[in-house]
Amino acid sequence: MTLGAIPYTVISLAIFGLVLLVGGYLMEAVIQLNNELIANPDLPYSKVRLDTLGWLAIFFRALGVLALLCAAIFLVMNANQQASGEI
Protein backbone atom coordinates (compact mmCIF):
# COMPACT_ATOMS: atom_id res chain seq x y z
CA MET A 1 0.00 0.00 0.00
CA THR A 2 1.28 3.46 -0.78
CA LEU A 3 1.52 5.91 2.07
CA GLY A 4 -0.41 8.45 -0.01
CA ALA A 5 -3.64 6.53 0.46
CA ILE A 6 -3.67 6.92 4.23
CA PRO A 7 -3.89 10.77 4.31
CA TYR A 8 -6.57 10.72 1.62
CA THR A 9 -8.56 8.25 3.68
CA VAL A 10 -8.19 10.25 6.89
CA ILE A 11 -9.13 13.50 5.14
CA SER A 12 -12.16 11.93 3.46
CA LEU A 13 -13.35 10.40 6.74
CA ALA A 14 -12.94 13.79 8.46
CA ILE A 15 -14.95 15.53 5.75
CA PHE A 16 -17.60 12.82 5.91
CA GLY A 17 -17.70 13.26 9.69
CA LEU A 18 -18.42 16.95 9.22
CA VAL A 19 -21.17 16.07 6.74
CA LEU A 20 -22.63 13.71 9.36
CA LEU A 21 -22.56 16.51 11.95
CA VAL A 22 -24.52 18.81 9.63
CA GLY A 23 -26.82 15.93 8.70
CA GLY A 24 -27.39 15.21 12.38
CA TYR A 25 -28.50 18.79 12.91
CA LEU A 26 -30.89 18.49 9.96
CA MET A 27 -32.24 15.15 11.21
CA GLU A 28 -32.83 16.72 14.61
CA ALA A 29 -34.85 19.49 12.93
CA VAL A 30 -36.86 16.95 10.92
CA ILE A 31 -37.60 14.89 14.05
CA GLN A 32 -38.62 18.03 15.94
CA LEU A 33 -40.99 19.02 13.13
CA ASN A 34 -42.34 15.46 13.02
CA ASN A 35 -43.04 15.54 16.76
CA GLU A 36 -44.85 18.86 16.37
CA LEU A 37 -46.99 17.39 13.57
CA ILE A 38 -47.85 14.37 15.73
CA ALA A 39 -48.86 16.64 18.62
CA ASN A 40 -51.07 18.81 16.38
CA PRO A 41 -54.61 17.35 16.45
CA ASP A 42 -55.77 19.45 13.46
CA LEU A 43 -53.87 17.44 10.82
CA PRO A 44 -54.15 13.68 10.33
CA TYR A 45 -50.86 11.80 10.63
CA SER A 46 -50.48 9.15 7.94
CA LYS A 47 -48.76 5.78 8.01
CA VAL A 48 -46.83 6.73 4.87
CA ARG A 49 -45.26 9.70 6.66
CA LEU A 50 -44.33 7.49 9.60
CA ASP A 51 -42.74 4.89 7.30
CA THR A 52 -40.87 7.54 5.30
CA LEU A 53 -39.35 9.15 8.37
CA GLY A 54 -38.46 5.70 9.73
CA TRP A 55 -36.56 4.84 6.56
CA LEU A 56 -34.88 8.24 6.61
CA ALA A 57 -33.64 7.60 10.15
CA ILE A 58 -32.39 4.12 9.19
CA PHE A 59 -30.48 5.49 6.18
CA PHE A 60 -28.94 8.25 8.29
CA ARG A 61 -27.72 5.72 10.87
CA ALA A 62 -26.20 3.62 8.10
CA LEU A 63 -24.15 6.50 6.65
CA GLY A 64 -21.34 6.10 9.20
CA VAL A 65 -20.98 2.40 8.46
CA LEU A 66 -21.05 3.13 4.74
CA ALA A 67 -18.21 5.64 5.11
CA LEU A 68 -16.06 3.13 6.96
CA LEU A 69 -16.76 0.42 4.38
CA CYS A 70 -15.86 2.77 1.51
CA ALA A 71 -12.61 3.74 3.25
CA ALA A 72 -11.71 0.08 3.81
CA ILE A 73 -12.47 -0.79 0.17
CA PHE A 74 -10.33 2.14 -0.99
CA LEU A 75 -7.41 1.03 1.18
CA VAL A 76 -7.69 -2.58 0.02
CA MET A 77 -7.84 -1.54 -3.64
CA ASN A 78 -4.80 0.66 -3.16
CA ALA A 79 -2.90 -2.17 -1.45
CA ASN A 80 -3.73 -4.59 -4.28
CA GLN A 81 -2.74 -2.07 -6.92
CA GLN A 82 0.67 -1.55 -5.32
CA ALA A 83 1.38 -5.28 -5.06
CA SER A 84 0.42 -6.29 -8.59
CA GLY A 85 0.62 -3.06 -10.55
CA GLU A 86 -2.99 -3.48 -11.69
CA ILE A 87 -6.35 -3.06 -10.11
How does pLDDT run across 65-81, given as a tens digit for each residue?
998 898 888 888 887 77
**Domain limits for position 51:** 5-84
**What predicted TM-score, i.e. pTM, was given to this entire model?**
0.68
Q: What's the Cα-to-Cα distance from 12 to each of 15, 36, 53, 67, rounded to whole Å?
A: 5, 36, 28, 9
State the pLDDT at residue 87: 62
Residue ranges, the chain, pLDDT below 70:
1-3, 82-87
Number of domain units in the chain: 1
Is 71:16 a contact under the CB 8 Å cutoff? no
State the pLDDT at residue 25: 93
State the pLDDT at residue 8: 83
Burial class (CB in 10 A: 0-12, 13-18, 19+), 35: exposed
